[in-house]
Amino acid sequence: MTEEKYNGYDTSIVYDYKDHPDIKSGQCDNCDKAQFKSSVKDFIYIRECRNCGMKKSI
């Protein structure tokens, strides 16, 4: 069993893309994976990493 290596982002917070743009385009800043699920609430697009759960408001 391999242990995932994360960059220390708090996954309970929704980060704003303007304040925290992607370090690597299209990849999660926390775990470097590129698989996301998305949702829209009150005209705000939320992108959530399927691996670690980090959320960004795009």
pLDDT surpassing 90 at residue 41: no
Domain assignment present for residue 3? The answer is: no
Q: Residue 55 in contact with residue 14, Cβ under 8 Å?
A: yes
Domain assignment present for residue 6? The answer is: no
Domain assignment present for residue 9? The answer is: no
Domain assignment present for residue 5? The answer is: no
Domain assignment present for residue 27? The answer is: yes
Give per-residue pLDDT as tens, 16-36.
999 999 999 999 999 999 999
pLDDT surpassing 80 at residue 2: no
Whole-number Å distance between alpha carbons of 23 and 32: 9
Specify the number of domains making up the chain: 1
Instruction: Provide the residue range defining the domain that includes 30.
Output: 14-57
pLDDT band at 4 (very low <50, low <70, confident <90, very high): low
Domain assignment present for residue 4? The answer is: no
Q: Please, what's the b/e burial string for 10-39 (b: 16 or more CB within 10 A of its CB; e: otherwise)?
A: eeeeebeeeeeeeeeeeebbbbeeeebeee
